């Protein structure tokens, strides 16, 4: 008599919208997973549960910034997964931060690092034993992260967000190495343009050094970057991710970085081949920074000329 095949189990953070929401649907419909869909807002997930089935989608309220919330989730999994096996942990929850580097407050920095870096690191540490338990000769668990091109490229007004993603990229790469003897694979999805609501819509502070006409125009253009560059629909993006996960679990392939989303692969090639000073020049043009930079230089020249006149009048 054949032993029944165990239904694979995934946990996805940031599942209430965008990438996480679509990924939940596709994991259920295409790979037949049972998904613990985790987010701070569970309302949309309850609707998805009603659509796909109570045994397929399990909404879980989770704040990745809160250690007690992570511990509560861990206890829930210990109680509901008798074998304590998890086949996929997808660290997707994220927060944007689009400001010039000198305008980002301490609170801004701490908030985005808590969501984008500390959250996935803490969650991965606590749930890793579930993935190690699931590793067998015929089953390869996966820990995945939603990375970003911002972590590899000098997108203006994204220094702190970029730093969080660069941190996650490197964390994933080292984790990829450390998980090898335990049979767990690690996937870092370096993401380009995807049509989601993550864009930061906050205004430039009044005290900003970019708070002048040309600077404000460049800042606004940067905020609207994604929608102006034909972002990929979450459905198409997640279809590629599903293929990546299936390939990892069913073959000897073991990449740590994959590039998905609009212009992701293109930017990978650019970063490899183009000298950095040329890249900066291209970004200055692309993001309409030249008028802003020229305005700053013109103001400096005017200030220098006024100082010269004042010095001359003082000497006379």
Examine the residue annotation and report whether 161 is marked as an active-site residue of this protein.
yes
Nearest residue to 55 (alpha-carbon basis) of 69, 38, 39, 36 = 36
Strands 57-61 and 88-91: unpaired
Residues 215, 219, 222, CA angle at the centre, nearest 5°?
140
Integer Cα distance of 222 and 232 in angstroms? 18
Active site residue 165: yes
Residues 37, 15: Cα–Cα separation, whole Å: 5
Tokens found for residue 144: 């995945």
DSSP-assigned beta bridge partners for residue 146: 189
Sign of CA dihedral 192, 8, 178, 244: negative
Residue 225 CA to residue 204 CA, distance in Å, equals: 16
Query: Of the listed 165, 171, 210, 237, which one is catalytic?
Result: 165
**Selected catalytic residue, list 16, 69, 148, 226:** 16
Tokens 């990924």: give the residue.
Answer: 23
Q: Where are the beta strands (DSSP E) in 192-267?
A: 257-260
165 with 148: CB under 8 angstroms? yes
Give 215: exposed, middle or buried? Use CB within 10 Å, 0-12, 13-18, 19+.
buried
The two structure tokens encoding residue 159: 């220094």
Q: What residue has token string 């996937």?
A: 187
Residue 237 annotated in active site: no
Helix (H) or strand (E) holding 10: strand 9-12
* Given 161, 171, 210, 259, the catalytic residue: 161
**Whether 121 contacts 224, CB under 8 Å:** no
Active-site residue set: 16, 161, 165
């Amino acid at each position: 008599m054949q032993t029944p095949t165990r239904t694979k189990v995934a946990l996805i953070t940031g599942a209430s919208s965008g990438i996480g929401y679509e990924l939940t649907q596709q994991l259920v419909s295409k790979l037949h997973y049972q998904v613990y869909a985790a987010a701070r807002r569970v309302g949309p997930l309850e609707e998805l549960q009603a659509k796909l089935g109570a045994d397929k989608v399990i909404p879980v309220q989770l704040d990745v910034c809160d250690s007690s919330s992570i511990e509560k989730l861990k206890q829930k999994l210990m109680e509901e997964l008798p074998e304590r096996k998890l086949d996929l942990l997808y660290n997707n929850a994220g927060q944007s931060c689009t400001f010039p580097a000198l305008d980002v407050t301490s609170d801004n920095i701490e908030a985005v690092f808590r969501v984008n870096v500390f959250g996935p690191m803490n969650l991965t540490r606590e749930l890793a034993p579930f993935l190690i338990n699931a590793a067998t000769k015929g089953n390869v668990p996966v820990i995945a992260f939603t990375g970003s091109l911002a972590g590899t490229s000098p997108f203006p007004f994204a220094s702190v967000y970029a730093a969080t993603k660069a941190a996650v990229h490197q964390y994933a790469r080292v984790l990829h190495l450390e998980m090898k003897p335990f049979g767990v694979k690690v996937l870092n999805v370096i993401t380009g343009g995807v049509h989601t609501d993550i864009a930061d819509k906050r205004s430039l502070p009044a005290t900003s050094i970019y708070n002048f006409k040309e600077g404000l125009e460049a800042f606004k253009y940067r905020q609207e970057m994604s929608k102006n560059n034909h972002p990929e629909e979450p459905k198409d993006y997640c279809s590629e991710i599903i293929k990546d996960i299936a390939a990892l679990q069913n073959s000897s392939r073991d990449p740590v970085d994959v590039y998905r989303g609009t212009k992701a692969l293109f930017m990978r090639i650019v970063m490899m081949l183009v000298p950095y000073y040329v890249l900066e020049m291209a970004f200055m043009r692309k993001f309409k920074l030249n008028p802003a930079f020229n305005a700053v230089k013109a103001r400096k020249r005017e200030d220098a000329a006024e100082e010269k006149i004042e010095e001359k009048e003082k000497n006379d």
